[in-house]
Amino acid sequence: NVKNGTILSVGKNGLIIACGNNSSISILEIQPESKRKMSIKDFLNGNGKDIFITNEIIGE
């Protein structure tokens, strides 16, 4: 059982986050504060590569 908000996967095709009822959501685009919207791939190629860590729980 994985807690809601757990990062399951980080990759160029998306950021996969655990949700309720054994489901997950794939984040394909992100918009950092005061920046333009961009793909996860572009974000991870820049300064975002160290922000998301697999098995980390978002919000804790």
* Cα torsion through 9, 12, 14, 17, rounded to 10: 20
What is the mean predicted confidence (pLDDT) over 36-50?
Answer: 88
pLDDT at residue number 51: 83
Q: Where are the beta strands (DSSP E) in 1-60?
A: 7-11, 14-18, 24-27, 29-30, 38-39
- Banded pLDDT at 13 (limits 50, 70, 90): confident
Total structural domains in the chain? 1
What's the chain's Rg over C-alpha atoms? Answer: 12
Which residues form the domain of 15? Answer: 7-50
Specify if 23 maps to a domain. Answer: yes
Give domain status of residue 57, yes or no.
no
Give how far Cα 53 sits from Cα of 1, 36, 58, Å.
18, 23, 9
* pLDDT value, residue 12: 82
Within a domain: residue 56?
no
